[in-house]
Amino acid sequence: MADQCMLGWILATLFVLFAIYCLVIKKKERGTKKDLLGSRRESVNCTATTNEECISGNVSDADVIIVGAGVAGAALAHTLGKDGRRVRVIERDLTEPDRIVGELLQPGGYLKLIELGLEDCVEKIDAQKVFGYALFKDGKHTRLSYPLEKFHSDVAGRSFHNGRFIQSMREKAVSLPNVHLEQGTVTSLLEEKGTIRGVQYKTKDGQELTAFAPLTIVCDGCFSNLRRSLCNPKVDVPSCFVGMILENCQLPCANHGHVILGDPSPILMYPISSTEIRCLVDIPGQKVPSISSGEMAKYLKTVVAPQLPPEVYDAFLAAVDKGNIRTMPNRSMPAAPYPTPGALLMGDAFNMRHPLTGGGMTVALSDIVVLRNLLRPLRDLNDSPTLCKYLESFYTLRKPVASTINTLAGALYKVFCASPDEARKEMRQACFDYLSLGGVFSEGPVSLLSGLNPRPLSLVAHFFAVAIYGVGRLLLPFPSPKRIWIGARLISGASGIIFPIIRSEGVRQMFFPATVPAYYRSPPVM
């Protein structure tokens, strides 16, 4: 009995000592944590973020810095954050963007959105499903539907307000605890011995700060002021878009994008909400009629309005009278990167194409999928030269999708523009008639346009099939010397349209990527 009492006292004493020990240690840990937090506040510069968190301004507290939080930047931040990376995003303006482009996401882009886990970003923003295109010319029209039979019923194109979509993706990105978004203007990249170590930026309050990370990804859009040190920016501006919003009207073909082959160039229309239609009038060249003097309104009423379908005519005139007319240059720029240790370009800062086909977001999201898959095997990003060598494969692996969409956009724009040249007129008419044939003649080109079948060889085959079809129309039923000559010029003109675009994209990377050594580059051991 005494032994049992003694054992009980010993166990009770040990329990009390253990409890006291735990209380003392916990108190010490609290004090240590408090001291560490206090010392960190004293040793780092802090800037305000959108959720009022404190972020270091002078130490490397991130794995990746992303410059810009547009479509590419926000989607990339969420993607890398979901993979466990510490991501810091610096965006010039965190208010909702108000753009007249970047409002139509092709089905191929929507599939990439699903692959990245971002499909819910098109919900609750009044996005509209798009099932294809309606093509209008000289009072006739043909409907071109996306080949979606093999996909889930939810898979389709989406059209929406660009700003709502971006804000939705930003919110999704910052919902991850390891993604930090702050407002600031990046003024320069910080370089040390040929390697980008981070960025220098100004906060909203004008404070100059620096941020460091093993990898800096520049996604600051088409007007990027940082890309010159990372690529060879050969920017071309073939035309400008004049944008308006039409209200209280219905398009002739519901849930379809509309392309009117007008004179001098195409006119686009598509829904961006349940009550609004985006209208984009293309004007060739870099000079547009003055809005302030009334020249633009006169041009839209006298030149553009008579070419529109009657269903939207009154709404178009009302939008012109309302006066909310905006313009934007249409830029194209082939990807010509300088592989730079510690840095990478993405989105419109890296590669642009004419927005006629609405392929920009599809290319950006596809690029993010490629980059994510390349970075996933890597735990450490600090060996910048080795990482740079490995990421050269990114430029090759992205080519099939990017080059197909880029080439199609440039070629279609040139074909769809009006021209006094007889051969170009025939090519334009042949394209409309070819697509009107239906079956494989429309399904093939539309699958390329939608990003569902990004195959460069298929693109070239259909493009020259249109040209040959045009020659056949000229030579039947009875060829004449004049028609033979126009047919020869048609083939020559088609070659002159597509081959320069292919050359700028890179013939080897576009058609034979497996012959590029970087295609087989394996993840480095770090």
Q: Measured between alpha carbons, how far is 373 from 380 in angstroms, rounded to an integer?
A: 15
The domain spans of the chain are 54-125+160-234+333-397, 237-332, 415-510
- Segment 273-307, tens digit of pLDDT: 999 999 999 999 999 999 999 999 999 999 999 99
| Bridge partners of residue 157, in order along the sequence | 130
**CA distance to 336, 352, 365, 433, per residue, from 69 (Å):** 23, 17, 14, 42
Going edge to edge, which strands form the sheet with 128-130? 104-105, 157-159, 128-130
CATH of domain 54-125+160-234+333-397: 3.50.50.60
Collapsing DSSP to helix, strand or coil, 317 comes out as helix
The answer to whether the 54-125+160-234+333-397 and 237-332 domains have the same CATH topology is no
- Element (H or E) spanning 384, and its range? helix 384-397
| Bridge partners of residue 195, in order along the sequence | 192
- Cα angle value 78/81/85 (rounded, 5°): 150
Q: What is the pTM of this model?
A: 0.87
**Nearest Cα to Cα of residue 264 among 243, 236, 284:** 284
Question: Tell me, what DSSP letter sits at residue 122?
Answer: G
- Segment 59-72, tens digit of pLDDT: 468 999 999 999 99
CATH of domain 237-332: 3.30.9.100
Q: What is the pLDDT along the chain (526 residues), one digit of tens a residue?
A: 444 443 344 334 434 333 443 444 344 434 433 343 333 233 233 333 333 333 334 446 899 999 999 999 999 999 999 999 999 999 999 999 999 999 999 999 999 999 999 999 999 999 999 999 999 999 999 999 999 999 998 999 999 999 999 999 999 999 999 999 999 999 999 999 999 999 999 999 999 999 999 999 999 999 999 999 999 999 999 999 999 999 989 999 999 999 999 999 999 999 999 999 999 999 999 999 999 999 999 999 999 999 999 999 999 999 999 999 999 999 999 999 999 999 999 999 999 999 999 999 999 999 999 999 999 999 889 999 999 999 999 999 999 999 999 999 999 999 999 999 999 999 999 999 999 999 999 999 999 999 999 999 999 999 999 999 999 999 998 899 999 999 999 999 999 999 999 999 999 989 988 888 877 777 876 5
